[in-house]
């Protein structure tokens, strides 16, 4: 009986080993370092990092949603400065900001969630302008979340509770919108984040079990395809498209120990996944490194390497991270 169990176990290991490449074609990225804790002048510790972005110089930016600041780090993760003047409704103040994007000139656009607006800052933190207000009309928001700047300069904003995507020019003037509540190809439920593929098409993710997908549309909102659909309890929370078209997605509501970070190729093939708890933002830099927000720190991951063999232990471990 004992011998039969051993044979069965060996057979199972072989089957799993040969099946791994379809599950994880690459090893998860290695964790290089994490930023140090940031202490604000009032003595409070930075504690609730969300969106992540980098500028042309490699500087890192993230949003502390609880403290209502934007933080700037250098390319090595050394803290440089805070941007904004804390919680409030005035120019340069935030109420639970969640995400940010950077244009070709290095300017920052921040989704000021509970103030229902977008604020624009220079790369050094000077307040420049704002647009949006609470409501359902054109150019109004109900808690904006994800934001991205298209190469043509247009600003795309995820209008979360209005279940639509709105588009503005670089000065914040309303241009167009699309979407309504629902799980159809031209609808959204819990629209969380947006970015663009190499052809300039729009990629979005939704935070709902019925729409847990990466969806592609053209610049006018015309549906092209469902690039990837997550299985199980994955609820996509944040997304980034890297310089080579790689799609990175994180989820914060998976079952304990199940993958929370995902790498998908432009064709919709899952390359790897791993356990990255408390991650609410993700971004691939031009240097190939990956940056994720982890509560009060930014984690810096090295470039992903391809699994060295069909039975790579790295691929096997990816199933349990």
Confidence of residue 142 (pLDDT cuts 50, 70, 90): very high
pLDDT at 256: 60
Residue 186, pLDDT > 50, answer yes
pLDDT at 235: 87
pLDDT at 305: 57
Residue 122, pLDDT > 80, answer yes
Q: Give per-residue pLDDT as tens, 246-255.
A: 999 999 866 6
pLDDT at 254: 65
What's the token pair of residue 216? 């592609």
Please enumerate, as own/partner, the contacts of 100-105 that have beta carbons within 8 Å and a separation of 24 or more.
100/51, 100/53, 100/61, 100/62, 100/63, 100/70, 100/147, 101/53, 101/147, 101/148, 101/149, 101/155, 102/53, 102/54, 102/55, 102/61, 102/149, 103/149, 103/153, 103/170, 104/149, 104/151, 104/153
Cα Rg of the chain (Å, integer): 20
Query: Across the chain, what does the average pLDDT equal?
Result: 87
Report yes or no: 97 and 116 within 8 Å, Cβ to Cβ: no
CA 223 to chain centre: 21
pLDDT at 23: 56
Residue 190, pLDDT > 60, answer yes
Rounded to whole angstroms, the Cα distance separating 29 from 272 reads 9
Closest to 201 in 3D by CA, of 228, 178, 186, 219: 219
pLDDT at 153: 95
What's the token pair of residue 94? 């935030």
Mean pLDDT of all residues in 79-99: 96
Mean pLDDT of all residues in 142-161: 97
Q: Out of 218-227, 228-237, 263-272, which region has the weakest mean confidence (pLDDT)?
A: 228-237
Confidence of residue 210 (pLDDT cuts 50, 70, 90): confident
pLDDT at 155: 98
**Which residues are CB-contacts of 169 (< 8 A; sequence separation ≥ 6)?**
153, 154, 155, 175
Edge to edge, what strands does the sheet with 127-131 contain?
99-102, 108-112, 117-121, 127-131
Q: Which domains does the chain have, with CATH numbers?
A: 27-318 (2.120.10.30)
With 0-12 / 13-18 / 19 or more C-beta atoms within 10 angstroms meaning exposed / middle / buried, residue 9 is exposed
Q: Give per-residue pLDDT as tens, 5-30.
A: 444 434 433 333 333 334 568 999 99
pLDDT at 228: 96
pLDDT at 12: 39
Confidence of residue 104 (pLDDT cuts 50, 70, 90): very high
**Which residues are CB-contacts of 22 (< 8 A; sequence separation ≥ 6)?**
none
pLDDT at 25: 87
pLDDT at 313: 33
Query: For the residues of 133-192, what is the DSSP string, one character each?
Result: -BSSSTT-BSSEEEEEE-TTS-EEEEEGGGTEEEEE-TT--EEEEE--BSSSTT-BSSEE
Residue 261, pLDDT > 90, answer yes
Residue 4, pLDDT > 60, answer no
pLDDT at 255: 61
pLDDT at 161: 97
Query: Helix or strand or coil: residue 262?
Result: strand
Residue 70's beta-bridge partner residues? Answer: 63, 83
Q: Give per-residue pLDDT as tens, 40-70.
A: 988 999 999 999 999 999 999 999 999 999 9
pLDDT at 231: 82
């Amino acid at each position: 009986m004992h011998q039969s169990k051993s044979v069965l176990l060996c057979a199972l290991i072989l089957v799993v080993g040969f099946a791994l490449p379809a599950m994880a074609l690459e090893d998860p990225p290695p964790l290089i370092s994490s930023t140090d804790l940031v202490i604000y002048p009032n003595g409070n510790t930075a504690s609730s990092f969300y969106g992540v972005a980098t500028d042309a110089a490699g500087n890192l930016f993230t949003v502390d949603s609880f403290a209502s600041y934007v933080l700037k780090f250098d390319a090595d993760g050394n803290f440089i400065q805070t941007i904004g003047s804390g919680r409030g409704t005035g120019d340069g103040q935030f109420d639970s900001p969640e995400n940010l994007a950077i244009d070709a000139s290095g300017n920052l656009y921040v989704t000021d969630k509970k103030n229902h607006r977008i604020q624009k800052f220079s790369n050094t933190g000077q307040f420049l302008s704002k647009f949006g207000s609470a409501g359902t009309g054109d150019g109004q928001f109900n808690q904006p979340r994800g934001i991205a700047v298209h190469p043509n300069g247009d600003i795309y904003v995820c209008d979360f509770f209005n279940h639509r995507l709105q588009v503005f020019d670089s000065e914040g003037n309303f241009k167009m919108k699309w979407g309504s509540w629902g799980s159809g190809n031209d609808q959204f439920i819990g629209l969380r984040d947006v970015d663009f593929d190499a052809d300039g098409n729009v990629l979005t993710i939704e935070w709902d079990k019925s729409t847990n997908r990466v969806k592609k549309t053209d610049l006018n909102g015309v549906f092209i395809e469902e690039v990837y659909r997550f299985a199980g309890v994955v609820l996509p929370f944040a997304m980034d498209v890297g310089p080579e078209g790689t799609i990175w997605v994180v989820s914060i509501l998976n079952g304990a120990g199940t993958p929370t970070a995902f790498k998908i190729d432009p064709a919709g093939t899952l390359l790897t996944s791993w356990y990255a708890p408390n991650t609410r933002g993700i971004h691939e830099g031009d240097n190939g490194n990956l940056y994720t927000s982890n509560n009060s720190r930014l984690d810096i991951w090295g470039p992903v390497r391809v699994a060295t063999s069909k039975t790579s232990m790295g691929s096997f471990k990816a199933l349990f991270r």
